Structure 1
Amino acid sequence: MNLKSLLAKPFAQYIHKQIKRNSSHALSDQEAILKQLLKTGRGTIFGKEHRFHEIQDHHGFQQAVPLRDYEAFKPFIEQIKEGKENVLWKGKPIYFAKTSGTTSGVKYIPITKDSIPNHINTARNALLCYMAETGNSAFAGGKMIFLSGSPVLERVGGIPTGRLSGIVNHHVPSYLRSNQLPGYETNCIEDWETKLDKIVDETIHKDMTLISGIPPWMQMYFDRLIEKSGKKVGDLFPNFSVMVQGGVNFEPYRAKLFESIGRKVDSIELFPASEGFFAFQDQQETEGLLLNTNSGIYYEFIPASEIFNENPTRLSLKDVKVGENYALVINSNAGLWGYNIGDTVKFLSTDPYRLIVSGRTKHFISAFGEHVIGEEVEYALLKAAAETGAHITEFTVAPMIEQGQGKSYHEWFVEFEKEPENFQDFIGKTEAYLRNKNVYYDDLIRGNILQTLQVRKVRKNGFIDYMRSVGKLGGQNKVPRLSNDRKLADALSTFIIDG
């Protein structure tokens, strides 16, 4: 064991105890954060417009600050871009995290001097909790992939601007720089496939011990490694022991990723976003992610059934219930107030507060009032796959609305790594599990308004080719699980195979 691994152990134990301590007083921490946010925000343009000096508690905050998405925040962002100070938070942001929005085009999310530790320290804490729990610190002495967008930042309104992962790359601790792959020049490559080939060349002969990224990216990386070396990833990297992933639900990708590795490795799941780092897996054997309750973010939760209401209920952390789906709203020291980030979560426990990411508020199907969400389709597909021997590479679902006498249905586009033993049985089980999960969908089937779902087989690498065709291959880009229109489904029709 090298020096880095030895030194990491006592620090990991210290941080792990601190996090456990914080989780035991999450509610008081949240109250204190709200008070501090309001105190600092009073002097801002936003705070003055919303009379922060009069707010005494969460109820008063709800009355003063309406819910907003990015589109509603744009006027304030534009003021910052024009050079104004103290708009959403004191001073100016130190960065803009640039991200793509489906309705707002490019979004510029502020990151402040006060909020940057949330992004940096939470990723570190996830690894340290893992070390403390498992005793595995040996990976700290090997090579680690922290894939990022280009670290080259442009300036917007005088503020350094780029992808969050590229910004974070500038804050990798100096003691990890010698372990980090790929190199700076490779990370600066914009074309994804060129970049991926360079990453393979740089890493294939190294002692890789930790690999991080979103699951679709990791699978592409593994496929290229296997193609080039003829070996399973676990044989190629005998000391590879930790896989860090986030951005999408891991379960649909789990089987194929581990098959590519060829053996068991530990995995750590994260819940990061440009708006903040919200939760991370703190225990290997416990399902769910620990909510980051003491890191400059005050959370609110909207019951999923009220997401589209004009004035939905806004709950604080003390009011959430296990098993309920909520839209996540944040208020933070980045200057985001009543900000609906677009993700839905479901709590698995409240002591401590552990959750799963259950979907996206904009990713649903409700063409007939069924309001099917991501968690439900993933559950149905994975259960059916497990029972029919299928391995799933990627999938998406859209409504097919038939005109005239034809019956409408949900159309599933699925790329199989391994096809089910009985295709019709697979369809039947998927349908049954979805009906069991969603009573509205079940009613529509029973009422003969919808016919049984149909599954289209997408050819090998069909989703990759589609993402390439629309310029969204690689990086943090993800295929939506559900769409309430036919845009993605129609585009995928050219990638379907018969039989």
Structure 2
Amino acid sequence: MKLKSLLAKPFASIVANKIRKEMQRAVEDQEAILEELIKTGRKTEFGKDHHFDNIHSYNDYKQAVPIRDYEQFKPYINKIKDGKQNVLWKGLPIYLAKTSGTTSGVKYIPITKDSISNHMDTARNALLNYMSETGHTDFADGKLIFLSGSPVLERVGGIPYGRLSGIVNHHIPRYLRTNQLPTYETNCIEDWETKLDKIVDETIDQDMTLISGIPPWMQMYFDRLIERSGKPVGELFKNLDVLVYGGVNFEPYRAKLLASIGRPINTVETFPASEGFFAFQDTQEHKGLLLNTNSGIFYEFIPAQEIFNENPTRLSLRDVEVGVNYALVVSTNAGLWSYNIGDTVKFVSVNPYRLVVTGRIKHFISAFGEHVIGEEVEYSLMKAAKEEGLQITEFTVAPMVNAPGELPFHEWFVEFENSPADLVAFAKKVDENLQQKNIYYFDLLKGNILQPLKIRQVRKNGFIDYMKSVGKLGGQNKVPRLSNDRALADELANHLL
């Protein structure tokens, strides 16, 4: 055991104990955080606009502060970009995280001196907690790779801005710098394929022990390593101990990623976003991500079907229930107030508060009132794929409303690693799974409003070529699972087998 892993052991134990204590006082911590946020917010332009001086309870807060998405926050953000202070939080943000949001185009999310620790400490705590639970500390002595966006930052209104992953790169602790790959110069390369080749050059002969990133880009890295070396990733990196991932549901990618490694490996799921680091997998034994309840973020939960109502039900952590699909709304010490981040979650436990991410609010299909969501399509496809021994590379779903001479249907675009022997029979299985998950979809089929779904087979690397064509290859970019329109589907029609 080397120095870093030796020192990590007691530190991991301290952090894990702190996390366990916070599990027990999650509701109390949330109430204290809201009180502190309002206290600071009273001195801001936003706080004065919303009469924070008169807020003395969560009910007061709900009356004073409506739920907003990015477009409704934009006037305040624009003032910050013009250099104005004390708009949403005291002073100026230390960064603006630029994100090409799937729901609102390009967004600039503030990160403040108070909120940066949420991003950094939570990432650190997730790894230390993993060390404490599993006893695996040796990976701290090897090389760690974070497949991320460029750390090059620009400025607006005197504030540095860039991708969240690039901003975080500037705050990686010094003791990890000697372990970190790729090099800073390689990380600055904008073109993903050029960057990926350089990453392979720099890592292929190293002792890689931890690999972190969004699953589809992790898979692309693995494919390049295998192509270059002729070996499974687990043989190439004999001490590879853990994959850390976030951004999308891991399940559609699990089979192919693990096949690429060639042996079992532990994984740690995380739920980071520009708006905050919300949750992480705290155990290998139970499903779900532990909500980060004591890190400067106050959470509200809106029943997902009510999120676009004028006066939706708003719940604090105290009143959530297991199994209900909620839209996640946050107020933070970065100056976001009842901000709808666009994600939906479902609690799998309330003691402690563990949840799973079920999709995006605007990623659904409801062309006929079926309101099919991401969790349902992922379950339906992966259940059928597992039964058939198939590996899915990528997929997305869109409605076909005006099908000439036939009933409308859901059109699935799927890239397989290994093709099904009978695509029509496989589609029938997926359709039956979806009927079981969504009663509205079932009723529409039985009522002859819809016909069963159809699967279009996307050629190998078809999704990669599509993402390249729209300038979204690599980094934090993701393929939407569901669209309620045909824009993505019509583009993918050019990439079929």
- Calculate the TM-score normalised by the size of structure 2: 0.99
Give the equivalent residue in structure 2 for 1:117: 117
Hey, what does 1:409 align to over in structure 2? Answer: 409
Is 1:97 aligned to residue 109 of structure 2? no
Amino acid at match of 1:378: E
Q: Secondary structure at the match of 1:160?
A: strand
**Any gaps of 5 or more consecutive residues in structure 2?**
none
Give the CA deviation at 1:448: 0.2
1:357-414 CA deviation, whole Å, 9 max, x = no partner? 0000010000001000000000000111111121111000000012565210000000
Q: Which moved more, 1:78-87 or 1:3-12?
A: 78-87
Displacement of 1:284: 0.7
C-alpha distance after superposition, 1:142-188 (max 9, x if no partner): 00002221111101110011100000001000000000000000000
Separation of aligned partners in 1, 2:61 and 2:73: 17
Report the more deviating stretch, 246-255 or 82-91.
82-91
* Cα distance in structure 2, aligned partners of 1:111 and 1:64: 24
| Amino acid aligned to 1:333 | N
Taking the aligned partners of 2:134 and 2:421, their CA distance within structure 1 comes to 38
Partner of 2:245: 245
Name 2:378's counterpart in structure 1: 378
Q: Report the Cα offset of residue 422 of structure 1.
A: 3.6
Using the TM superposition, give the Cα deviation of residue 476 of structure 1 relative to its aligned residue in structure 2, in angstroms. 0.6
* Alignment check: 8 A CA contact 1:97 1:162 kept: yes
Task: Show the counterpart of 1:460.
Answer: 460
Q: CA deviation at 1:105?
A: 2.9
SS for the counterpart of 1:209 is strand
Partner of 1:48: 48
Matched residues in 2 for 1:404 and 1:203: separation? 52
**Comparing 77-86 with 229-238, which one deviates more in the overlay?**
77-86
Partner of 2:369: 369
Q: Is the 8 A contact 1:409 1:450 kept in 2?
A: yes
* Alignment partner, residue 5 of structure 1: 5
**Partner residue of 2:312?**
312
Q: In structure 2, what residue type is equivalent to 1:161?
A: Y
SS of match in other structure, 1:418 = coil
Amino acid at match of 1:223: D
Q: Distance in 2 between matches of 1:382 and 1:458?
A: 17
Alpha carbons 1:393, 1:415 under 8 Å: kept = yes
Task: Report the equivalent of 1:352.
Answer: 352
Q: For 1:24-39, list aligned pairs within 5 A.
A: 24-39=24-39
Contact 1:360 1:374 in 2 (8 A): yes
TM superposition outliers: structure 1 runs of 4+ over 4 Å? none
Contact kept in structure 1, 2:103 and 2:342, CA below 8 Å: no
Amino acid at match of 1:412: W
- Cα 1:398/1:225, change in 2 over 3 Å: same
Match of 2:225 in 1: 225
Alignment coverage as a number of residue pairs: 497
Q: 1:150 maps to which residue? A: 150
Q: What amino acid does structure 2 have at the position aligned with 1:89?
A: W
Structure 2: how far apart are the matches of 1:382 and 1:403?
Answer: 27
Contact 2:143–2:209 at 8 Å: present in 1 too? yes
Letter matched to residue 189 of structure 2: I
Which has the higher mean CA deviation after the structures are superposed, 95-104 or 7-16? 95-104
Inter-partner Cα distance in structure 2 for 1:412 and 1:148: 29
Distance in structure 2 (CA, Å) of the matches to 1:319 and 1:54: 24
Distance (Å, rounded) in 1 between the aligned partners of 2:16 and 2:258: 28
Shift of 1:101: 2.7
Contact preservation (8 Å) 2:214, 2:245: yes
- Match status 1:323 vs 2:306: no
Alpha-carbon separation, structure 1, partners of 2:201 and 2:150: 18
Tell me the distance in 2 between the aligned counterparts of 1:102 and 1:180. Answer: 30
Q: Which amino acid aligns with 1:17?
A: N
The Cα of 1:210 is off from its aligned counterpart by 0.4
Aligned to 2:184: 184
The residue that corresponds to 2:22 in the other structure is 22
Letter in 2 for 1:276: G
The CA distance in 2 between the partners of 1:477 and 1:483, in whole Å, is 16
Deviations, residues 101-141 of structure 1 (Å, cap 9, x unaligned): 34543211000000000000000000001000000000000
Counterparts of 2:421 and 2:321, CA distance in 1: 39
Checking the alignment, whether the CA contact within 8 Å between 1:388 and 1:422 is kept in structure 2 is: no
Cα displacement (A) at 1:424: 2.9
AA in 1 matched with 2:427: I
Query: Partner amino acid for 2:17?
Result: K
2:437 is aligned with 1:437: yes
- Equivalent position of 2:69 in the other structure: 69
Which residue identity does 1:209 align to in structure 2? Answer: T
Q: Among the aligned pairs, what percent are the same residue?
A: 72
Q: Quick one: which amino acid aligns to residue 374 of structure 1?
A: G
Q: For residue 344 of structure 1, what is the amino acid of its counterpart?
A: T
How many angstroms apart in 1 are the aligned matches of 2:392 and 2:71? 35
Indicate if the aligned counterparts of 2:299 and 2:328 stay in contact, CA closer than 8 A.
yes
| Counterpart AA for 2:367 | A
Gaps spanning 5+ residues in structure 1: where? none
8 Å Cα contact 1:388-1:425 kept in structure 2? no
Contact 1:414 1:456 in 2 (8 A): yes
